[in-house]
Amino acid sequence: MNEILGIAIAAVICWVNFVLIDTWMGLPEGPGVKGADVIGRSVQKRGGDLAGGFFQGNIVCSPDASAGTLLAAIGCYAIGIPEGGLIAAVLVYFGNRLCADPGYAGTTGALSITVIIFLTSFIGFKTEYFIVGMVIAILTIQGIYHPGASRLLGKIAHKMGRHTKLT
Amino acid sequence: MLIEILGIIVVLMALRTLVAQNRSERLLYLNVIGFSMSAIIGLYIQTPFGAIIAITFFVTSTLSSNAIAYSLGRVKEEIMVK
């Protein structure tokens, strides 16, 4: 498979995987840790959406499904397809507990991307495409234009019924 | 090819971190650098121990940004009290 095309498709798969799991686990509903509150309100001040800001803040402050997706991809690449993802899931769980985060988003993200990598390996996707794809996916959320990204995340949260009740 | 793409992302984010005005905005760019660096470590050291290093690096960098964001909130409160 063409490398650029593979990376682009892997980026889309990773983006959908971690945004859906994080929203489902309630990241936009409120700051899981205190630092996420500061980042969320700063994004809102610059013209963004508060729920999307909390989502971005939670990603920075604790290993969530985004971290689980990246680390499980690295584990599958360097260790092996099912066992690397499982080791990554355990380490992400430790990270979650160290950050005093009650959620299990990181572990769920790591396990789901392990299944996706296993299934897509049959149609010619290499595991390294998912590593680069995940970095590109996080770049679109955290690195290009924060107010715009937070408004998009807020819309997704609203559709899934997970929009924040805080003001 | 793969490491080059990640390197370009790191350089771009480093430049944006330099020109960013707001401290919490800077943390978001630094988070992307953390993602790219652990991906580069994983892709460059293609051994099981390399994966463990990449995972540990990422989790500890998240811990430190957690601490920085927490203290940013504290600093704001202290300024308001004064």
Domain boundaries, chain A: 3-159
pLDDT at A29 over 90: no
Tokens of A149: 């990204």
B37-63 pLDDT, tens digit per residue, is 999 999 999 999 999 999 999 999 999
This complex has an ipTM of 0.91
| Cβ neighbours, 10 Å, residue B77 | 9
Compute the radius of gyration of chain B from its Cα atoms: 16
Among A33, A77, A99, the residue with its CB nearest the CB of B42 is A77
B25 has pLDDT over 80: yes
Is it the case that residue B79 has pLDDT exceeding 90? no
Nearest Cα to Cα of residue A43 among A32, A55, A27: A55
Chain A residues whose beta carbon lies within 8 Å of the beta carbon of residue B68: 35
Taking residues A133-140, what's their average pLDDT? 94
CA distances (Å), origin B34, targets A88, A128, A139: 16, 17, 11
3-state secondary structure of A143: coil
Tell me if the domain spanning B2-81 has CATH number 1.10.12. Answer: no
Q: Per the CB < 8 Å rule, is A99 touching B66?
A: yes
